[in-house]
Amino acid sequence: MAQPSTLYDKLWDSHVVHKDEDGASLIYIDLHLTHEVTTPQAYEGLRLSQRKLHRTDKTIAVPDHNVPSTPDRLEKIEDPESRLQLETLKQNSDDFGVEYIPMGDIRQGIVHIIGPEQGLTQPGKTIVCGDSHTATHGAFGALAFGIGTSDVEHTLATQTLSMQKSKNMLVRVDGKLPVGTTSKDLIMAIIGRIGTAGGTGHVIEYQGDAFTALSMEGRMTVCNMTIEGGARAGLIAPDEKTFEYLKGKPRAPKSDAWEAAVKYWQTLNTDEGATFDKEVVINAEEIIPHVTWGTSPEDVLPITSLVPNPDDFDDPNKKSGIGRSLKYMGLEAGEALDGVPVDKVFIGSCTNGRIEDLRAAAEVLKGRKVVDSVEMLVVPGSGLVKYQAEEEGLDEIFLAAGAQWREPSCSMCLGMNPDILQPGERCASTSNRNFEGRQGRGGRTHLVSPEMAAAAAITGHLTDVRKVVSS
């Protein structure tokens, strides 16, 4: 019998085009997602070397990062640089024959939201994009990872990438998540445990009831933030939920091809007896809602905790790191996280901008009001998410509560469009990075789940959503 393999081994082995003597492999890429920020220089490179695309049917382009979230976005984009970058994407896509989804199209949205929605994201595929959150697509059992612009150019020109195989890492979470704990809390707890470099050099496979119990949306949230744990890709083996999600999606296989595809997809899991280079086991029952306090996603704690004190740490690097973070964040050591006042609340991004996230936030907001001191932005991840939310009347709940209901884009996740934090402003955000200046220079980000974000909007401060819902 063949050696037992992990899911990652299977995905890797089935895409090797060529292997060098020194171990680097040429890996075939089945789907290339492109957006305006990381592609202009790649096309410039192709033009300079007079190269064409190896093939055009495995690449799709969609504008997202620079797209304003305001209703007048089709008529005017104030920032000339943003406008030029968006026009460049359209021009390059046209010139090189790549399918392009324009801003006014209902399918437009954040690149990692539209791939699954269109059924382009499928189990067994290799998927790349010039964006580190490409890890999202691993929720379908696809090998998906972010690449830089040079590799975007390489993929356009050759439909392959030259790479070294990563190591296998297993994160196993057994048991049931307590009520009030979401997929976002789950992945933040994992990052808190392994650290932002915990997965470096590895591909993480998530196994255990905690993941199988999640919806596809929840699984995407988990895989999305895998990069925050240092691993380029996260994987969850496909199952009936995966197939159910994909069935009937515009670009999913149809009729006979569907049957054949599912049969193949069912083989995509880790064999019994396969070994991992690194394993982490966590108990789901102990995870409660989490929030970040510092400027790295690993600076995360349960909402019931106190802000850490640098003096409690021996490691001098750690000590000075925490001190620096607290200064930036404007927090006192020993202060309770529950109660820290916020100025803004952001719901959206490729981490938490899907329909389920909006439903969850609306559920908390229903019949309640955003406090006057807080500005709340709800930005659906795609035109289709927005449409679905409006069908369900979620927009009315948000508007009635006093939140703003916006158009799909990356928005305040990184503030390349006009949605940014002002210096010193504090935000409860459902995005994925709390780096210094990420949401605007001097802005202070606390990463939370959509439920926790809604709770912060109602109370005006970081708080435990479980208290809000039960009151």
Partner 1 sequence: MENFSVLTGIAAPMPMVNVDTDMMMPKQFLKTIKRTGLGISVFYDMRYDENEAERPEFILNQDAFRNSKILLAGKNFGCGSSREHAPWGLLDFGFRCVIAPSFADIFYNNCFKNGILCITLPEAQVEALTVQADGSDFSVDLENMQITAPDGSVTPFELDATRRHNLLNGLDDIALTLQHVGKIKAFEAKQQASQPWLYT
The CA distances from residue 218 to 11, 170, 279, 308, in Å, are 22, 18, 22, 29
Residue 49: which of ligand SF4, partner 1, none does it interact with, CB under 5 to 8 A by kind? partner 1
Structure tokens at 48: 């300079």
Nearer residue to partner 1 within complex by CB, 341 or 424: 424
Phi and psi at residue 206, in whole multiples of 5°?
A: -95, 125
Among candidate residues 207, 201, 139, the one with its CA nearest the CA of residue 170: 207
The CA distances from residue 43 to 36, 81, 89, 96, in Å, are 11, 17, 9, 9
d(CA 126, CA 108): 22
Nearer residue to partner 1 within complex by CB, 218 or 294: 294
For the bound state, the minimum distance from the C-beta of residue 146 to partner 1, rounded and expressed in Å, comes to 4
d(CA 219, CA 207): 11
Length of the chain: 471
Nearer residue to partner 1 within complex by CB, 130 or 180: 130
For the bound state, the minimum distance from the C-beta of residue 110 to ligand SF4, rounded and expressed in Å, comes to 5
For the bound state, the minimum distance from the C-beta of residue 233 to partner 1, rounded and expressed in Å, comes to 10
d(CA 217, CA 228): 18
Among candidate residues 109, 76, 78, 61, the one with its CA nearest the CA of residue 407: 109
SS3 426: strand
Residue 218: which of ligand SF4, partner 1, none does it interact with, CB under 5 to 8 A by kind? none
Nearer residue to partner 1 within complex by CB, 330 or 341: 330
A 10 A CB-CB count for 91 gives 14
For the bound state, the minimum distance from the C-beta of residue 88 to ligand SF4, rounded and expressed in Å, comes to 18
For the bound state, the minimum distance from the C-beta of residue 159 to ligand SF4, rounded and expressed in Å, comes to 23
Among candidate residues 217, 214, 223, the one with its CA nearest the CA of residue 7: 223
Residue 413: which of ligand SF4, partner 1, none does it interact with, CB under 5 to 8 A by kind? ligand SF4
Nearer residue to partner 1 within complex by CB, 57 or 312: 57
A 10 A CB-CB count for 80 gives 8
Q: Chain centroid to CA 89: how far?
A: 22
User: To which H or E segment does residue 376 belong?
Assistant: strand 375-378
For the bound state, the minimum distance from the C-beta of residue 126 to partner 1, rounded and expressed in Å, comes to 10
Residue 44: which of ligand SF4, partner 1, none does it interact with, CB under 5 to 8 A by kind? partner 1
For the bound state, the minimum distance from the C-beta of residue 293 to partner 1, rounded and expressed in Å, comes to 15
Nearer residue to ligand SF4 within complex by CB, 109 or 124: 109
Residue 205: which of partner 1, ligand SF4, none does it interact with, CB under 5 to 8 A by kind? none
Q: Where along the sequence are the contacts to ligand SF4 (CB under 6 A)? A: 64-65, 110, 112, 131, 133, 349-350, 410, 413-414, 431-432
For the bound state, the minimum distance from the C-beta of residue 264 to partner 1, rounded and expressed in Å, comes to 7
Nearer residue to ligand SF4 within complex by CB, 222 or 410: 410
178, 217 Cβ separation under 8 angstroms: no
Nearer residue to partner 1 within complex by CB, 373 or 422: 422
Q: CA 427, 294, 459 angle in degrees (round to 5)?
A: 35
Residue 17: which of ligand SF4, partner 1, none does it interact with, CB under 5 to 8 A by kind? partner 1
For the bound state, the minimum distance from the C-beta of residue 165 to ligand SF4, rounded and expressed in Å, comes to 26
| Residue 423 neighbours by CB under 8 Å, 6+ apart | 440, 441, 442, 443
Residue 29: which of partner 1, ligand SF4, none does it interact with, CB under 5 to 8 A by kind? none
SS3 203: strand
Nearer residue to partner 1 within complex by CB, 181 or 226: 226
Nearer residue to ligand SF4 within complex by CB, 326 or 453: 453
d(CA 86, CA 67): 8
Residue 201: which of ligand SF4, partner 1, none does it interact with, CB under 5 to 8 A by kind? partner 1
d(CA 362, CA 291): 20
Residue 96: which of ligand SF4, partner 1, none does it interact with, CB under 5 to 8 A by kind? none
Residue 110: which of partner 1, ligand SF4, none does it interact with, CB under 5 to 8 A by kind? ligand SF4
For the bound state, the minimum distance from the C-beta of residue 158 to ligand SF4, rounded and expressed in Å, comes to 24
106, 387 Cβ separation under 8 angstroms: yes
